[in-house]
Amino acid sequence: MAWYEHIFNEYYIKFDGHGDTKEEGSYIENLLKIQKGDKILDLCCGYGRHSIELAKRGYTVVGYDLSNILLERAKADAVAARVDVRFIQGDMRFLPFNVEFDKVINIFSSFGYFDKDEDNLQVLKSILNSLKDKGKLLLDQINKYSGKADKIIHQQNEEGHIKFTKDAQFDSDTGIYSGRYTYEILDCQEVKEYTFRIRIYNINELRKLLALAGFNAVEFYGDFQCNIFNNDSPRIIAIATK
Ligand SMILES: C[S@@+](CC[C@H](N)C(=O)[O-])C[C@H]1O[C@@H](n2cnc3c(N)ncnc32)[C@H](O)[C@@H]1O
């Protein structure tokens, strides 16, 4: 089985160090210039934090993800938040949508999961097919190429009876960000390990890939505050138009 079929589980939910989802909801609205009545696909929605936030703002949202564990949590959170979001399980390369969405978001480093460029390109083609004419995609990757980004990562965090360790490294020659999540279950001395391997495309590569997929135009931002991309930006955010 591929790494991305294992790692996004109940432990991931527990230790996910995500940002402020409410704030990110406003940034997504600004970056994509979302209009009243827009239909949005949250691709690789995880446990639905952005899907739910955008639904609270009145948009029609579909959340799509491979992980049943994360989707179950997303469904429960949507019920608790009293919003109506359709959550669908599937692989991002094979989206079952045809010219349906005004906007697609793929956020928090959910791209580049496949070893072959053709598969990552297939994701973009599938997104293009899901978008309406002039629809827009927001694609967000961490900018590991920045001189300010840590190339070797060692993080530890303990919660309840679980100790979490993340060890990772980025190779700027290959663009591969890879590493390992280790969860040590302290009271039963059990250790669970999950590896990951993500291809982070630099902006020239991403521009080419988006054009190859058939997108017409692309703008790059360096953070969620809409600052234009520069080499030291914390993120690589592409806004691509069909
Ligand atoms: C880093 S998480 C981001 C989740 C969410 N966007 C967020 O910001 O909280 C990446 C997500 O991609 C999903 N994923 C991984 N491989 C996938 C695939 N082949 N098709 C669809 N979703 C996938 C995972 O299950 C996980 O929820």
pLDDT digits (tens, 9 = 90+) for 89-138: 999 999 999 999 999 999 999 999 999 999 999 999 999 999 999 999 99
- Radius of gyration over alpha carbons of the chain, in Å? 18
Q: Which two tokens stand for residue 131?
A: 């978008």
191, two tokens: 């250790």
Give the homologous superfamily in CATH for domain 3-144+201-241.
Vaccinia Virus protein VP39 (3.40.50.150)
Ligand 1 center–CA 65 separation, angstroms = 6
From the options 3.30.420, 2.20.25, 3.30.720, 2.70.98, give the CATH code of 152-198.
2.20.25
Distance from the alpha carbon of residue 66 to the mean position of ligand 1, in angstroms:
7
Distance of CA 192 to the CA centre of its chain: 23
Domain boundaries of the chain, sorted by first residue: 3-144+201-241, 152-198
**Res. 189 pLDDT band, cuts 50 70 90:** confident
Query: Model confidence at 178, in pLDDT bands (50, 70, 90)?
Result: very high
Kindly list the protein residues whose Cβ atom lies closer than 6 A to any atom of ligand 1.
Answer: 4, 8, 18, 44-46, 49, 65-67, 70, 91-92, 107-110, 113
What mean pLDDT comes out for the span 39-65? Answer: 98
- Is residue 192 within 8 Å of residue 18, measured between CB atoms? no
Say how many Å lie between the CA of residue 173 and the centre of ligand 1.
Answer: 25
For residue 207, how far is its CA from the centre of ligand 1 (angstroms)? 22
